[in-house]
Homo-oligomer: A and B are copies of this chain.
Amino acid sequence: MADIRKTAWRQAIVAKKAHRTAEQMAQSQREISVSEFFAKNRHLLGFDNPRKALLTTIKEAVDNSLDACEEGGILPEILVEIEQLEEDRFRVAIEDNDPGIVKAQIPNIFGKLLYGSKFHSRRQSRGQQGIGISAAGLYGQMTVGKGPRIWSKTKRGKMHAFEMQMDLTKNKALITKDEEHASWHRKHGTRFEIDIEASYQRGLRSVDDYIKQTAVANPHAEIRYRAPGMEEPRVYERAIKAVPDLPDEIKPHPYGVELGELMKMLRNTNSRWLSGFLQEEFCRVGPKVAKEIIKAAKLGERSYPSRIARDEANNLFRAIQNTKISSPPTNCLSPIGEDRIREGLMKECDADFYAVSTRPPSVYRGNPFQIEVGIAWGKPGVDQLEVDEKGRIAKKKKKRTIDTEDLLGNADEPVRVLRFANRVPLLFQQSGCGFTKAVTQTSWKNYGLSQSKGALPIGSAVILIHMASVWVPFTSEAKEAIAPYPEILKEVKLALQEAGRKLGSHIRKGKKVASEFQKRSYIEKYLPHVGIGLQEILGISNEEREEIVETLRDTMETTRKI
């Protein structure tokens, strides 16, 4: 056996290589810049392949546009253009009417990875990492050799046109063009343009699909979209004319803070007393709660925060966990809303039944979040049974032709799951997403759908799930899937169960109607014969017979009402 093993090793490694000492190893160790890291690991950012790269580039830019307009209190007008340059190269431009970007920040925002305003703020927004748009520029530069072009104008400032190259080793932008113009065709706004290696296709998980879903979840935005092959731009009109209020920014909740962070906050605070520190730096801590925490930690209310050692901080940390503190405020959340979800589903699915359910806000690791769920369900290609006002059953001819635009699939295929985080559609990594996990862990058999263990339920249905949060825990920087934190899984499951119960009672009713209909049709078939029998026995006239049959039918309909 040992020989076989040795042979395997020998086969595997043909060329012998000198082993190395600690000193030799030390020489090759060095720092890696964050740009180098993400350039090599670009699939982490959603640039796995040319098709996805196109989507990610547009997604990052549109997310930024919507966020900037929301922050500036502006009704968004967004223009998305895709132009084919060569077979595998495209020019992508996203232009908006956002407040614009001040000159000094343009190279940072577009030319530096890990730069932005959203990372350190606890406010619900689409972007949160400070990576997305600069990563798109980096991808373009890596694949086509040209850096991004930016035009931006603020209300009072001039229009600045920039061209840049990104220096990977230093993670910063080299400006190659910097022009100033007195005016622009917009009073304020930003245009981002990049040439990338890409592939444009229609269908599921396409840019078309993304734009459509984005319009559904952001009815206050006007989106003009032009892709190769379109003669005219496709226009998604604004459905609401009110600018959404900017969600509040909140302080961290004590329950979500870890010991290490607490120690850091103690060192850096401006508060001079421990009691003030707790009330200043956290939400939901008033004088009473602060007193309670400090007492439980066996510390003094007037201790100097910066002089608290690790063991005391640890006591403080444990005391926080054991003190009853109310949940964080939830007015910082901006859910889509039940009516809007129902409307959106109706627009996209020609279903027979819609159920929507919204959970009250909840908290994971100190971050407030809220889950909304919508279900659309239909039986495609099957005659529908309906009950009219009088309780009569009618067989309604309704053959659904499966429209490729319709999100409802075939009855023998897994349901479609539409996932949204802070109104941004998530198109990839479905199987690795906490939302999907919650769907597969729900017992859909209870609600009338068939399901194999650990799989999506089967049926012609769409399940929409939205999470609104000040911090969405994505499983990767590509922001494609939600990490399955237990609190989030629980809330999604509860929402699914609530909507599922509505669906279940509808499906059961449908089944009851169907079996009822069958029973009745049997009886109805024999009613005339019963009438003839009675006529023979009682010697009544044809009119009397007809009348009796009619009475019998009426009686049946009223007594067997569903």
Contact = CB atoms under 8 A, between A and B. Distances in A.
Interface of A: 1-2, 4-6, 8-9, 11-23, 25-26, 28-34, 36-37, 40-41, 43-44, 48-49, 68, 71-74, 99-102, 104-105, 108-109, 112, 114-117, 119-121, 129-130, 141-146, 154-155, 157, 168, 188, 197, 219, 239-249, 258-261, 263-264, 310, 313-314, 317, 331, 333-340, 343, 413-414, 429, 431-432, 436, 452-455, 471, 473-477, 481, 483-486
A116 B129 CA distance: 24
Given A117-B29, A239-B5, A13 B244 contact: yes
B248 A119 contact: no
Contacts of A334: 12-13
A129 to B, nearest CB: 7
A225 to B, nearest CB: 22
Contacts of A146: 310
A303 to B, nearest CB: 17
Residue in A74, A260, A263, A476 with the greatest tally of chain B CB atoms within 10 Å: A260
Contacts of A242: 5-6, 9
Given A143-B259, A259-B145, A20 B99 contact: yes
Contacts of A12: 244, 333-335, 337
Given A20-B71, A432-B431, A452-B455, A247 B13 contact: yes
Contacts of A114: 31-34, 37
Contacts of A37: 114, 119, 129
Given A144-B259, A145-B313, A455-B452, A104 B8 contact: no
Contacts of A74: 19
B240 A5 contact: yes
A121 B30 CA distance: 11
Nearest to A436: B431
A25 B240 contact: no
A21 B155 contact: yes
A313 B141 CA distance: 13
Given A13-B331, A29-B108, A29-B116, 9 more contacts: A8-B338, A9-B245, A15-B248, A31-B112, A32-B129, A43-B473, A44-B475, A142-B259, A414-B454
